[in-house]
Amino acid sequence: LLIHLTQATKKDLDEVAQTEVPVVVCPRSNFVTGVGMAPIAEMLEAGIRVAAGTDNVMLNSVNMFAEMEFMSKVFSIEDRQVFKICTLNGSFVMGPDSTGSIEKGNKANLMVLNGSSNNLAGIKDPISGITKRARPDDILAVLHS
């Protein structure tokens, strides 16, 4: 597992992709600290599994919704990909005992959001709506199996 890669070159990304090492990026933290921004679109293009973290709690809230919104608005990445980076890919990098995709045999951690909240009411595309507008106060329940 590699973290940040804010100064990664194309050669670096090619090597990471060849070794199939996942990368965790922390865009809001990197923005605040001024250390540079990870080339997320280029990482994805190289075939790297990218996950997101919130990094330094002294600088930012531990809020993946804020991370999704920031990535969606600052980087040229589709909302579906941002959602995957912040959910499924994050689970993958946590290891084999972590939950993963929703399918038979996997553990499940499910979050139920309030689609009628001020943030989510009227959204047409659930993935884009969650990625750009959801907040922690929209969470109605978290279910663990």
Tell me the pLDDT tens digit for each residue of 77-132: 999 999 999 998 988 887 766 667 777 877 778 899 999 999 999 999 999 999 99
Q: Where are the alpha helices (DSSP H) in the chain?
A: 10-19, 27-33, 40-46, 64-74, 79-86, 88-93, 126-133
Domains of the chain listed by start with CATH number: 2-144 (3.20.20.140)
pLDDT (mean) for 13-36: 95
Of the candidates 63, 37, 34, the residue with the CA atom closest to the CA atom of residue 50:
37
